[in-house]
Amino acid sequence: MSEPVEPQDTEIPEGLDVAALVERAEQILLGGPPKYTRGEVAERAQIDLDEGRRLWRALGFPSVGDDEVVFTDCDVEAI
């Protein structure tokens, strides 16, 4: 078994917009910006809201409030 990798103390380059970098990485990983609530995803995927909630939890994702805009087009496709 390999040795665990110790975190390194790294400096953030001056002028780097960390918030923009994190937002861009999130968009790449999630397939786009969040723009739907749970209800909007269920409506677009043509499923019952409770069925969508159960499926989301079964996939191992955290529970979110019904009015939180956290879902993407990829989430609609996945459902």
Distance (Å, whole) CA 49 – CA 14: 46
pLDDT at residue 23, rounded to an integer: 84
User: In this predicted structure, what is the pLDDT of residue 1?
Assistant: 62
CA–chain centroid gap for 40, Å, is 16
Q: What is the value of pTM for the model shown?
A: 0.65
For range 1-29, the mean pLDDT: 81
Q: Is 2 helix (H, G, I), strand (E, B) or coil?
A: coil
Percent of the chain with pLDDT over 90: 23
Mean pLDDT of 47-58: 89
Handedness of CA 38, 40, 46, 50 (dihedral sign): positive
Q: What is the pLDDT of residue 37?
A: 94
d(CA 1, CA 53): 39
CB of 72 within 8 A of CB of 31? yes
